[in-house]
């Protein structure tokens, strides 16, 4: 018994001695200490990547039971005018249809806002939007929606890739049907929260004529407040991929495929919508004084 205790104490003293020597080497050898810190950082980055991979796999192995709705075509004109280093205005016009020949209108919209820019890549926006949803089965009825929105957007680069984060909060006053017969409507108020992440990078560049071709990827999800969103945490998600053609510094054309996962709480159904978006981005710079903020506008889907 006494011999066992001696062996245990001997091993314990050797372990303490080993830890003390290792600590002394770290203190006396800054390079070794730096290597340890770098390894810790690499481990943290790896952990973050593993979490992201797990999130993607989680979505992949939990398929959404949904039915496909009619494909949609979205046409958008997006304009930004910069009249000061700190200030700009923006507006966009939207038209959506479920058919091209003939057109089968589903929604029109207009949005207007004022932007405040910072030197660090942030842009703060407040504005108003009107949306009209077309109901073809009820003698060409439009359901009106009025929105006030606030958003913050952050742009930065990773090498040649532009990265955009955008958070938008919307206060929505909407007309909705009260029953399945679509006889009466009521006005409801809800808040909605949206988060967008977007990437774009170069495919080809032609410096001689200033034409560029870029790829673009984005994802945006929507959360409602004070409203029954049914059996999904998020009532809508949009995933986009496509190309961005820029023939000049002020004009860009985005041609994108978009997959929408949308839940209808009233019908208790989830729809998958294949849609194609064509967006014309138009930027104007009215600044006459010396520009102190040189960050270029990034074409962000809306």
The three state secondary structure string of 28-65 is HCHHHHHHHHHHHHHHHHHHHHHHHHHHHHHHHHCCCC
| Domain-located, residue 295 | no
pLDDT at position 41: 39
Same domain, 93 and 50: no
Model pTM?
0.73
| Domain-located, residue 298 | no
Continuous segment of H or E residues that includes residue 220 = strand 211-225
Same domain, 109 and 258: yes
Tell me the C-alpha distance between 301 and 20, whole Å: 57
Query: Nearest Cα to 260, choosing from 234, 294, 291, 227?
Result: 234
Q: pLDDT (tens digit, 0 to 9) for every residue of the chain, 302 residues total?
A: 444 545 445 544 554 454 544 544 444 555 544 444 444 434 344 444 444 444 454 444 445 555 666 889 999 999 999 998 899 999 999 999 988 888 888 899 999 999 999 988 899 999 999 999 888 766 667 889 999 999 999 999 988 899 999 999 999 998 877 666 666 678 888 899 999 999 999 987 666 667 789 999 999 989 887 655 555 556 789 999 999 998 887 899 999 999 998 876 555 677 889 999 999 999 998 888 767 665 667 778 77
* Domain interval for residue 274: 67-285
Q: In the Cβ-directed half-sphere of 52, how many Cα atoms lie within 13 Å?
A: 6
Tell me the C-alpha distance between 294 and 105, whole Å: 40
| Domain-located, residue 135 | yes
CATH code (residue 168): 2.40.160.40
Same domain, 9 and 103: no
Same domain, 156 and 78: yes
Same domain, 79 and 115: yes
pLDDT digits (tens, 9 = 90+) for 172-221: 998 877 666 666 678 888 899 999 999 999 987 666 667 789 999 999 98
Same domain, 143 and 184: yes
| Domain-located, residue 299 | no
Same domain, 15 and 74: no
| Domain-located, residue 54 | yes
| Domain-located, residue 139 | yes
Same domain, 14 and 138: no
Same domain, 31 and 90: no
Number of domains in the chain: 2
Give first-to-last CA distance, the chain, whole Å: 77
């Amino acid at each position: 018994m006494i011999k066992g205790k001696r062996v245990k104490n001997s091993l314990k003293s050797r372990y303490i001695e080993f830890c003390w020597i290792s600590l002394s080497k770290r203190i006396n050898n800054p390079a070794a200490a730096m290597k340890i810190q770098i390894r810790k950082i690499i481990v943290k980055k790896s952990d973050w990547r593993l979490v992201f991979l797990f999130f993607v796999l989680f979505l992949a192995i939990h398929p959404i039971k949904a039915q496909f709705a009619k494909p949609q075509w979205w046409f958008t004109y997006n304009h930004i005018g910069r009249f000061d280093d700190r200030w700009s205005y923006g507006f966009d016009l939207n038209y959506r249809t479920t058919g091209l020949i003939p057109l089968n209108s589903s929604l029109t919209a207009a949005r207007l806002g004022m932007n405040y820019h910072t030197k660090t890549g942030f842009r703060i926006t407040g504005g108003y939007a009107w949306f009209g949803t077309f109901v073809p089965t009820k003698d060409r009825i439009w359901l009106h929606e009025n929105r006030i929105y606030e958003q913050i957007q952050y742009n930065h680069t990773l090498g040649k890739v532009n990265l955009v984060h955008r958070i938008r909060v919307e206060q929505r006053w909407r007309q909705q049907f009260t029953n399945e017969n679509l006889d009466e409507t009521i006005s409801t108020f809800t808040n909605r929260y949206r988060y967008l992440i977007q990437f774009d990078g170069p495919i080809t560049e032609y410096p001689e004529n200033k034409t560029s071709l870029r790829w673009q990827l984005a994802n945006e999800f929507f959360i409602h407040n004070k409203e029954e969103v049914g059996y999904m945490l998020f009532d809508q998600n949009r995933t986009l991929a496509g190309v961005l053609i820029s023939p000049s510094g002020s004009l860009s054309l985005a041609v994108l495929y978009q997959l929408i996962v949308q839940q209808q709480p009233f019908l208790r159904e989830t729809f998958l919508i294949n849609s194609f978006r064509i967006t014309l981005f138009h930027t104007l710079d009215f600044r006459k004084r010396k520009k102190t903020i040189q960050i270029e506008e990034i074409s962000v889907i809306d």
